[in-house]
Structure 1
Amino acid sequence: MSSYLECNARERIARVFDAGSFEEFLPPSARVVSPHLAQLDAPVSFDDGVIVGRARLDGKTVFGAAQEGGFMGGAVGEVHGAKLVGMLERAVAEQAHAVLLLLESGGVRLHEANAGLIAVSEVMRAILGVREAGIPVVVLIGGANGCFGGMGIAARCANAIVMSEEGRLAMSGPEVIETAHGVEEFDSRDRALVWRTTGGKHRYLMGDCQRLVADTVAAFRAAALAAIADAQGHAALTLADLEAEQAMLARRLERFGGESEPLQVWKRLGVPDPARIPMLDAEAFVGVADHYRAGAG
């Protein structure tokens, strides 16, 4: 199977990392499950929807995790989050070459609201701890559920994000925005609008992801290797980085805050014939976008 989108979490792990190299921590046989779901008579998964462990990538020792979108949409609970944090802390202890996070999540489980929120905050702290240790953290987003909620914020704590056109990244999902502000604000049934707003192409144009790739496992693997190489030697987050990011966001809000949808933003960036952009394949899109995406800052 070549499509990253169509793979489940275990298939992505097996294909992104060097063949046969992945050593799973707390596998399903350990049966470490969420205590909260059982109390609510909700179904459990013996890996709690996330796979964590150590592997090799192009021969180098890396640590990695993959969220399973097929279990509660990859949502984070107490055990799920604890597994991610434990893996990240172990990567620091063993001075891994890099950490690779294959994220697919709708956010925090409503069944475990407070525990899940705390877990996500601990994941963010742990990601920054890995970077402080000089270890690059790269996120891959290309699953059907996208990367939303707390994990959308956690993804932006990494050194780099790799997305496919099919991937989506945002704080709030389309249904959440519609529920809170009405269909006039955001129609979650308008799939073209949803992908224009949260999809990989828009995120690449705006500078929210560093690499856009075709929907193949091989493309994600190659981009991950390149992103890790780019971050070597300057993985840590500095005060200057934070100040530059804040200034960029302020400029973005001033420039695009009055626009109501991405096509208008793309036009403001100077992209010729913005309506044509969604129809381009990943390679052709990047060829066009690289002339204009710097203007997003």
Structure 2
Amino acid sequence: MDHTEVEILTARDVPLGGPRAMTVRRTLPQRSRTLIGAWCFADHYGPDRVAESGGMDVAPHPHTGLQTVSWLFSGEIEHRDSLGSHAFVRPGELNLMTGGHGISHTEVSTPGTTVLHGVQLWVALPGEHRHAPRDFQHHAPKPLHIDGAELKVLLGTLAGETSPVRTFTPLLGAELLLDAGATVTLDVDPAFEHGLLVDAGDVRLAGTLLRPAELGYVGTGRTTLTFTNESDHRARAVLLGGTPFEEEIVMWWNFIGRSHQDIVEAREEWERASDRFGEVDGYPGARLPAPTLPNAVITPRKNPPRR
């Protein structure tokens, strides 16, 4: 595969939850690409020293039309939501929350956390399921060892391992750890497009070198993907994939809809504390107010034409 077939997406820094809170690196969405499969949002943070940054403290906030995927490399986050879930996000354990018609939740790094490091991802729900009921799933995938690589399959199927976690579109999510100098080739679904988000080390994906915080995109049609760690230390990356998401979506703040009016209605219902989003118990503070809507119609985000 020629290296020009890998598109490199670079991250931008975004403050999370206030002036003292941590900064995250966001690779999705951006102008050049809105989605990879149904993956529509990727924040990558750390290693973040909580004593210096203040850690993560996100007050009650809403979501519609999506699922949130939380995955940590180090540290611990306390999760509470309006479904009544009270759980802890720990390294190697997947927490997936379905917002659907509406949910609210909080995310707070625990007092014992000194270094916080991980990813927060969103998955867009297809039209027929975008009003799905609230849900919360937890899964601790077992590690697989292949050719100097360790894999953990969060969602979907890879290397013969299938996650039991339910999704609404065909998806793949996996953590890859590569020994220094290791190369591994994995069978993948040719109907999927893929993205590799590099956390540590320099990883060559299908002939293109990706550095930490970069996300490499590969279009459909591949039956295998080859990953090489060109560092002298262990590399870590998150592999995302899915069938191209053909629906146009409107994304604003924490909402995903199909029209400007969807966003207006969701914001109004959050601001008046309607039952749509429920209440989160156990957080010692006020909920987040919604930002002011822009003075323009929010239009659908589009991917470039499929390669």
TM-score normalized with structure 2 length: 0.27
* Greater share of strand: 2
TM-score normalized with structure 1 length: 0.28
